[in-house]
């Protein structure tokens, strides 16, 4: 069967079947749908309708649907169940990474209550361990379910063990090879196990040249490692090198996407993770902070301009080129910081040393500023703008572009050094400061020359 | 063995070993390095040194290193080989998706020449087929190597066939189930095959509820499908439903990353895919277009302001608030288009109909504009700015925010409808137009009221 595009009509047809409680007709339809499609469907429905629809699903699929819901919709949906139901029906049947993510969404007291109602004590203990790690670190992203074999076994023992363990692990790509102390020694792919003879030994077919990350490695590092080495799953080890979990690529892909979206939104001046479909006041709230900072910047600039009221009265043409100088400094600053922020995010910056980096940025800014200044100079000469004001615009624009570019490179590198998200350097505060700076440079130059 | 961080010292040690041609000492070091690390190393070396170092590698690893190089470094490196060497040593040993990507980087004549030198005629034919698809469509991203089994077989036949086919396929996650006409019927995981008894039939254990894409589906659709359904590999079918290839998640992850980077760069006004490590003139060239468009915008705004020279002379305080009104309109426009562009990129917009979308955007913009106007009003009343000019600023800022927000939503949706990249709406042209528009609104309001 093919994948399904959910139309509005389809959604309404399903809704009327739900309202008439026609479970017998709904079940075959639900069987043809994938969990993400069902999640998309029930986000439009009321709590009672959603609970009825998912009650028709088999447990593994019901749990998958829950994991696919948006966090807000998931919390609404779970309001339809008490702690014991959540523990027994949902958490107990989820992979540990999804279960930990879900538990992290509750208040700490509720989380403890849910864990205490779990029938499998060992599993609730291992979830409690996962919850100790920071959500964005390897330990918070990993699942503890994995398949491991001892280096001293042969392939037949492996296959038997894999059969036993695989029941619990939903996605198997790689089998991990450990010693008697659980220290990770290497990996072996399912393909190699299928291709090997039953009496070959694990030690003969395993790959000792593997990549792993520490349980406290930040998510960004996990993502860039998996991306660089094209890995589908990454083993996570503790300080002693013992295997504690694995991260699969789908979890990292979500993480990479979220990080990229966050940087994009900071660059565009949006302060929360919002979507077009969010409510009006959510969208409004996410956009107001940037606007208000911009507003204060505008008021500040009105004060700066007001301070030069005399100069403007004497020479009105000084007012004509204010927006030009401000915009050029602002644009150059955003470009320069965006390149550095993206380089830091993609880990392509290598071993950056600040001085050579600034030297290079100075050269780039100088070239671009000279090109722009030449254009202004030519324009000034052929138009009736006047010689003096043209010189003022050229000099101040040149300084504004160079200064803003240097700040644009320096600030994200410094933020990153202090462990602060460098993408903040593209946000409203820096951009507004750059605008003001351009204005200052412009009027001081004007004051000096005119 | 652990993964390796390449330091400058390490790179220099290796270089001196290369220069002394100490292959016997280099081989054990290279064996411990992963292909992406070796690629990183040789990007710093001269052609001759890079060719010597890679000549010490076994073929599969050498080919992997080639695939990991940045396109420019790859072309430089391949200058050290003739067409026959490229065909025999490299292309013949690469997976078809990587081989097709590499061939796409040559001039068409060179590509034909390389294909004609390939020892395996069948493989060169299948590569020529892949080259027919657009690079960014499913057909251009997919590899033709995959493992397929007939629905009428039993598990023992499958295992034998997998053993035979798996030699050629570097990554196996899923086995595809087809009928006698090669029509894709479903999938079965390696895990299920390992867990099944040898005499169970494929038809009993396969999953008929699968997701596939057409060979001409755009890359964005492939990426969003794989992301939505958490797939590690996606089968690609032709118009008749015949299985023609598969796309693995690592290829899509690169694609997603590239698309996100492109949108980010458009938003920041950078016109080419550049990195901090690029040469000065490349960085300068990528940033100049935005600056020059901004410059023309600035000159235009100087003309607009010049047209109101009389008003400014009579009332200098009109000059004070120009930057404020321009910036507020500009910021609101960028926010609004960024949300729509991101929604289109992430496919979270659902079934957008333009009118309700604009209605909602109008409400968001109205709320934010009213909040900002209230702040300006209070500021105008408590400061000595003057009543008239405060009213001018409030009215024009309100109009500029609302108008720019509506344009910011409308333009990316329209571009998308016409099949143009909506991210262009965040670029220099639209942003500069929004600035100019704010200025017009400001002076017309000023002209009418003062």
Tell me how close the Cα of B130 comes to any Cα of chain A, in angstroms.
22
Chain B residues lying within 8 Å of A3, measured CB to CB: 211-212, 225, 229
Percent residues over pLDDT 90 in chain B: 31
Does the CB of A292 have a partner CB in chain B at under 8 Å? yes
Instruction: State how far the alpha carbon of A19 is from the alpha carbons of A15, A31, A44, B73, in Å.
Output: 6, 19, 14, 62
Place of tokens 């309404």: A12
Tell me how close the Cα of B24 comes to any Cα of chain A, in angstroms.
20
Nearest to B280 among A348, A364, A428 (CB): A364
- Suggest the residue from A68, A171, A230 to mutate for an interface test with chain B (most B CBs closer than 10 A): A230
Chain A residues lying within 8 Å of B357, measured CB to CB: 276
- Chain A, 38 to 97: residues with Cβ < 8 Å from chain B are none
ipTM computed for the complex? 0.73
The pLDDT of residue A395: 95
The pLDDT of residue B169: 66
- Chain A, 148 to 207: residues with Cβ < 8 Å from chain B are 159, 162-163, 166-167, 171-173, 189-191, 193-195
Nearest to B291 among A229, A337, A372 (CB): A372
In B190-279, the DSSP E strands lie at 213-214, 233-237, 243-248
A38-47, A359-368, B101-110, B266-275: which range is least confident on average?
Answer: B266-275
CB contact under 8 A, A191 and B172: yes
The pLDDT of residue A163: 78
**Terminal Cα distance for chain A, rounded:** 77
Q: Which CATH number, 1.10.3470.10, 1.25.60.10, 1.10.3720.10, 3.20.20.80, labels domain A8-133?
A: 1.25.60.10
The pLDDT of residue A2: 46
CB contact under 8 A, A260 and B265: no
Q: To which H or E segment does residue B175 belong? A: strand B174-178
Nearest to A270 among B193, B303, B335 (CB): B335
Place of tokens 């001759």: B48
Summarize pLDDT for A353-384 with one digit per residue, the tens. 778 888 888 999 999 999 999 999 999 999 88
Q: Where are the alpha helices (DSSP H) in B69-179?
A: 71-78, 83-85, 96-104, 108-116, 121-131, 138-141, 155-166
Going from N- to C-terminal start, the domains of chain A cover 8-133, 148-248, 280-449
Topology of domain B280-449, per CATH? Tetracycline Repressor; domain 2 (1.10.357)
Write phi, then psi, for B217 (nearest 5 degrees).
Answer: -60, 135
Block means of pLDDT (10 residues each) for chain A, length 450 residues? 66 90 90 88 88 91 88 86 91 88 88 91 88 87 89 88 73 85 90 80 90 90 85 90 89 79 84 79 87 90 90 89 90 88 74 77 93 94 88 94 91 85 78 86 89
Nearest chain A residue to B264, by CA: A264
Chain B residues lying within 8 Å of A273, measured CB to CB: none
Does the CB of B265 have a partner CB in chain A at under 8 Å? yes
**Sign of the dihedral defined by the CA atoms of residues B237, B241, B244, B246, in that order:** positive
CB contact under 8 A, B364 and A287: yes
CB contact under 8 A, A172 and B166: no
CB contact under 8 A, B264 and A338: yes
Question: Which DSSP string do the residues of A360-416 spell out, in sequence order?
Answer: HHHHHHHHHHHHHHHHHHHHHHHSSS-HHHHHHHHHHHHHHHHHHHHHHHHHHHHHH
CB contact under 8 A, B190 and A195: no
Residue B31: band (very low, low, confident or very high) from pLDDT cuts 50, 70, 90: confident
Tell me how close the Cα of A18 comes to any Cα of chain B, in angstroms.
23
CB burial string B351-370: b at 16+ within 10 A, e below: ebeeeebeebbeebbbbbbe
Percent residues over pLDDT 70 in chain B: 96
Summarize pLDDT for B290-307 with one digit per residue, the tens. 889 889 998 999 999 999
Nearest to A274 among B193, B319, B339 (CB): B339
CB contact under 8 A, A229 and B283: no
Does the CB of A316 have a partner CB in chain B at under 8 Å? yes
Place of tokens 């344009």: B407
- Suggest the residue from B279, B324, B371 to mutate for an interface test with chain A (most A CBs closer than 10 A): B324
The pLDDT of residue A391: 94
The pLDDT of residue A169: 66
Residue B244: band (very low, low, confident or very high) from pLDDT cuts 50, 70, 90: very high
- Suggest the residue from B67, B191, B235 to mutate for an interface test with chain A (most A CBs closer than 10 A): B191
Angle (nearest 5°) at CA A10 between A78 and A281: 50
CB contact under 8 A, A297 and B327: yes
Question: Distance between CA atoms of B112 and A201, rounded to whole angstroms?
Answer: 46
For helices A354-382 and A387-417, give the axis angle rounded to 10 degrees: 160
Which residues face A246 on adjacent strands?
A: A143, A235
The pLDDT of residue B2: 46
Tell me how close the Cα of A128 comes to any Cα of chain B, in angstroms.
26
Question: Distance between CA atoms of B76 and B391, rounded to whole angstroms?
Answer: 63
Summarize pLDDT for B355-401 with one digit per residue, the tens. 888 888 899 999 999 999 999 999 999 988 888 999 999 999 999 99
- Chain A, 397 to 426: residues with Cβ < 8 Å from chain B are 401, 426
Q: Identify which has the larger pLDDT, A349 or B450.
A: B450
Topology of domain A148-248, per CATH? CBS-domain (3.10.580)
Tell how strand A148-150 and strand B174-178 pair up.
Answer: unpaired
Three-state DSSP state, B319: helix
Nearest to A364 among B283, B343, B379 (CB): B283
Summarize pLDDT for B312-328 with one digit per residue, the tens. 888 888 999 999 999 89
Chain B residues lying within 8 Å of A36, measured CB to CB: 228-230
CB contact under 8 A, A339 and B208: no
Contact (Cβ atoms closer than 8 angstroms) between residue A99 and residue A91: yes
Does the CB of B264 have a partner CB in chain A at under 8 Å? yes
Nearest to A284 among B227, B284, B367 (CB): B367
Tell me how close the Cα of B235 comes to any Cα of chain A, in angstroms.
12
The pLDDT of residue B351: 56
Nearest to A294 among B267, B316, B331 (CB): B331
Q: How many CB pairs under 8 A join A and B?
A: 342
Cβ atoms within 10 Å of B24's Cβ, excluding its own? 9
CB contact under 8 A, B331 and A249: no
- Chain A, 348 to 407: residues with Cβ < 8 Å from chain B are 348-352, 357, 360, 363-364, 367-368, 371-372, 375-376, 379, 385, 401
The CATH number assigned to the domain with range B8-136 reads 1.25.60.10
The pLDDT of residue B355: 81
Question: Distance between CA atoms of A432 and B362, rounded to whole angstroms?
Answer: 25
Nearest chain B residue to A344, by CA: B276
Summarize pLDDT for B186-199 with one digit per residue, the tens. 998 877 887 788 78
Which residues face A431 on adjacent strands?
A: none
């Amino acid at each position: 069967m093919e994948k399904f595009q959910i139309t509005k009509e389809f959604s309404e047809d399903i809704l009327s079947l739900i309202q008439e409680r026609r479970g017998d007709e709904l079940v075959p339809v639900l069987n043809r749908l994938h969990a993400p499609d069902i999640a998309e469907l029930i986000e439009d429905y009321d709590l009672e309708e959603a609970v009825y629809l998912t009650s028709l699903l088999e447990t593994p699929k019901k749990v998958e649907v829950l994991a696919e819901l948006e966090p807000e919709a998931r919390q609404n949906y779970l309001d339809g169940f008490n702690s014991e139901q959540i523990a027994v029906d949902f958490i107990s049947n989820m992979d540990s990474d999804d279960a930990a993510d879900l538990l992290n969404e509750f208040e700490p007291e509720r989380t403890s209550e849910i864990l205490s109602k779990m029938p499998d004590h060992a599993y609730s203990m291992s979830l409690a361990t996962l919850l100790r790690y920071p959500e964005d670190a390897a330990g918070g992203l990993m699942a503890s379910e994995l398949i491991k074999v001892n280096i001293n076994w042969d392939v037949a023992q492996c296959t038997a063990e894999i059969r036993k363990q695989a029941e619990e692990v939903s996605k198997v790509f790689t089998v991990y090879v450990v010693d008697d102390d659980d220290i990770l020694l290497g990996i072996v792919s399912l393909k190699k196990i299928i291709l090997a003879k039953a009496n070959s030994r694990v030690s003969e077919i395993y790959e000792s040249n593997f990549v792993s990350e520490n349980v406290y490695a930040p998510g960004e590092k996990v993502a860039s490692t998996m991306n660089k080495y094209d890995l589908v799953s990454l083993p996570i080890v503790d300080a002693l090198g013992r295997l504690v979990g694995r991260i699969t690529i789908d979890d990292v892909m979500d993480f990479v996407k979220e990080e990229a979206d966050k940087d994009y939104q900071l660059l565009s001046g949006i302060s929360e993770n919002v979507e077009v479909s969010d409510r009006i006041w959510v969208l409004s709230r996410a956009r107001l902070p940037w606007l208000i900072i911009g507003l204060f910047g505008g008021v500040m600039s009105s004060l700066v301009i007001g301070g030069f009221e005399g100069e403007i009265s004497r020479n009105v043409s000084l007012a004509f080129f204010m927006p030009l100088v401000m915009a050029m400094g602002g644009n150059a600053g955003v470009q320069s910081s965006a390149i550095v922020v993206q380089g830091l995010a993609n880990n392509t910056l290598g071993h950056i040393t600040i001085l050579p980096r600034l030297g290079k940025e100075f050269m780039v800014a100088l070239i671009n500023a000279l090109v722009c200044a030449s254009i202004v100079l030519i324009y000034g000469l052929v138009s009736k703008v006047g010689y003096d004001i043209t010189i003022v615009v050229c000099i101040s624009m040149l300084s504004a572009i160079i200064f803003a570019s240097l700040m644009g490179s320096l600030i994200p590198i410094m933020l990153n050094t202090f462990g602060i998200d460098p993408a903040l350097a593209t946000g409203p505060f820096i951009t507004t400061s750059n605008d003001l700076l351009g204005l200052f440079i412009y009027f001081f130059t004007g004051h000096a020359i005119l």
